[in-house]
């Protein structure tokens, strides 16, 4: 039996050994400031350049289009605020979805308080937004569309490629942002090919690198206005001395994960399918993730048992799951509410999210523990 089962990889991942060793090396040996003019600074700059190239390679873009940030949240903020302020003379309308991550929703809410018109598209019962929905919401005053690649609670894969292609044809001046945190190094992303966007946000701690590092892709030539100011680092997009140790770890993790991506996807799909089979054999279990969701996320409701109660019961058995987005801290899920889910089902929702360290052997252990929880709390 496994000592623990960690099914909360969408909240954060365990830092992989290679990345952790690299962080230590950067902190104790290659510790120079990349802006310094001496050899130590030059060595640090070379390592930062390599990390930038690794992240760019994982996304299929140029290294000059990658800017390191403190994480996905900061990348979302910089993209949305910078794009909106650069386009203010053209219009005041932003289109997004009602089930984005809070990093997007709270940023557009702030802009709304400044007088911007925000359109929040509602997903259907399968957590989908169609290209037609987006085109219908966009008009000549719209300056930005921000839509995620994979929903972080139910795992639905949004048709961002089709959406961007249709928007480009009808509104060539429009800027497009994609929060790709849950898709990065898991689902295919080829910028400019399968996904033609102007901004794309990714995070390091979702790909086995440390917390505190992320990256923002800004398409070459995109109109953009910085939102913070400092010493000119990251070409003034995100000034401040770079967190070089974490950035290098993120670059290495991205490179390694891209080599493993197909193998991981296949194994995770087997784990997800085995769990689905087991869950459907249990009474009063509703599957909330759509059939065509990413295999990395499986959301279900154990009707009659509140999420928080089941979460802590499983925790006592060394099994770690989530009741939704980690950023919500146990609050009601805006994602499930936006899909029209009734309160009882939403209140009993559990999110399982998988990673490179999960195995098929964990599945029956989890299902047994869940069965015990259902027997105990449904009495």
Strand partners, 297: 353
- 280 and 160 in one domain? no
Which residue shows structure tokens 């980690």?
326
Asked if 297 contacts 154 with a C-beta cutoff of 8 angstroms, the reply is yes
SS3 287: strand
CB atoms within 10 A of CB 281: 10
SS3 annotation, 240-283: CCCCHHHHHHHHHHHHHHHHHHHHHHHHHHHHHHHHHHHHHCCC
Answer whether 0.85 is exceeded by the pTM: yes
Report residue 330's pLDDT band, with 50, 70 and 90 as the boundaries: low
pLDDT, one tens digit per residue, over 60-100 is 999 999 999 999 999 999 999 999 999 999 999 999 999 99
pLDDT digits (tens, 9 = 90+) for 206-236: 999 999 999 999 999 998 999 999 998 988 8
Whether the pLDDT of residue 328 is over 70: the answer is no
The CATH number of whichever domain residue 346 belongs to comes to 3.90.1150.10
Choosing from 178, 213, 248, 327, which is the catalytic residue? 327
Number of domains composing the chain:
2
Query: With the CA atoms of 89, 104, 124 and 299 taken in that order, what torsion angle do they form, in degrees rounded to the nearest 10?
Result: 170
The CA distance from 56 to 189, in Å, is 11
Residues 208 and 266 in one domain: no
Question: For position 135, which CATH number holds?
Answer: 3.40.640.10
Kindly indicate the confidence band of residue 326, based on its pLDDT and cuts at 50, 70 and 90: low
Residue 325 confidence (pLDDT): 52
Q: Whole domain around residue 134: which residue ranges?
A: 17-256
Catalytic (active site) residue 327 = yes
């Amino acid at each position: 039996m496994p000592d623990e089962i960690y099914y909360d990889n969408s909240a954060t991942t365990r830092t992989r050994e290679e990345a952790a060793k690299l962080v230590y090396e950067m902190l104790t040996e290659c510790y120079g400031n990349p802006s310094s003019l001496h050899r130590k600074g030059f060595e640090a700059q070379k390592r930062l350049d390599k990390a930038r190239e690794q992240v760019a390679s994982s996304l299929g873009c140029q290294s000059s289009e990658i800017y390191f940030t403190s994480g996905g949240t900061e990348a979302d903020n910089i993209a949305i605020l910078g794009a909106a302020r650069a386009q203010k003379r053209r219009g005041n309308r932003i289109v997004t979805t009602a089930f984005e991550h809070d990093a997007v929703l709270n940023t557009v809410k702030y802009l709304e308080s400044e007088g911007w018109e925000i359109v929040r598209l509602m997903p259907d019962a399968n957590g989908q937004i169609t290209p037609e929905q987006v085109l219908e919401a966009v008009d000549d005053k719209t300056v930005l569309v921000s839509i995620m690649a994979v929903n972080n609670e139910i795992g639905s894969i949004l048709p961002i490629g089709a959406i961007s292609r249709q928007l480009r044809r009808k509104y060539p001046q429009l800027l497009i942002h994609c929060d790709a945190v849950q898709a990065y190094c898991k689902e295919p992303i080829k910028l400019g090919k399968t996904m033609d966007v102007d901004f794309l946000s990714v995070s390091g701690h979702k790909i086995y690198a440390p917390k505190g590092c992320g990256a923002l892709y800004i398409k070459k030539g995109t109109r953009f206005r910085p939102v913070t100011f400092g010493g000119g680092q990251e070409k003034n997009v995100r000034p401040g001395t770079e967190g070089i140790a974490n950035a290098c770890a993120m670059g290495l993790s991205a490179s390694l994960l891209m080599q493993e991506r197909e193998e991981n996807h296949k194994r995770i799909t087997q784990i997800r399918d085995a769990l689905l089979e087991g869950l459907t054999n249990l009474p009063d279990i509703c599957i909330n993730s759509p059939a065509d969701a990413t295999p990395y996320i499986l959301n279900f409701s154990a009707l009659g048992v509140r999420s928080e109660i089941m979460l802590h019961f499983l925790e006592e058995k060394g099994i770690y799951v989530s009741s939704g987005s980690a950023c919500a801290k146990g609050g009601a899920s805006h994602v499930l509410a936006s899909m029209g889910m009734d309160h009882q089902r939403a209140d009993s929702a559990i999110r399982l999210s998988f990673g490179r360290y999960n195995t098929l052997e964990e599945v029956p252990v989890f299902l047994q523990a869940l069965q015990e929880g259902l027997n105990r709390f449904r009495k």
